[in-house]
Amino acid sequence: MTLRLAGGGRFGSVRRPQVAWAGLDGDVVPLVELAGRLAHAARGLRLPVEDRPFRPHLTLGRWRPGRPADGTLTDRLAGYRGPAWPVTEVRLWESHLGPEPTYDVVDTWPVTRRTP
């Protein structure tokens, strides 16, 4: 699998942006399929799952609520296409948001080619 950063956007409105992200381009179909399988498994375990479609992305940062924010910032990434890189593993991260956010790797899995 090969990916690259391409474009960008935000979650939330221009007036109240929440998350800035860079889009992913390349072999994104396997990522979308993986997200679907994970959502199906989570529903089977009666865990909450968002109903919105999965959008492959890399989170760049978050705007703090109540602080001035330029929601058009990510529009500057519209034409960006970064270099491609091979994906060798998938990491599950746990976010601990707050005044001093931290992020912990929960688990890591190698990316292997599926045999028919």
| CA gap 55, 17 in Å, rounded | 17
| Locus of tokens 């960006």 | 80
| CA gap 17, 58 in Å, rounded | 16
Q: CB 82: neighbour CB atoms within 10 A?
A: 13
pLDDT tens digits for 38-67? 999 999 999 999 888 888 999 999 898 888
> pTM for the whole thing?
0.79
pLDDT tens digits for 87-99? 999 898 898 988 8
According to the model, what pLDDT value does residue 116 have?
61
Domains of the chain: residue spans and CATH: 2-87 (3.90.1140.10)
Mean pLDDT across 69-92: 92
| CA gap 41, 49 in Å, rounded | 10
pLDDT tens digits for 4-32? 999 999 999 999 999 999 999 999 998 89
Mean pLDDT across 90-111: 90
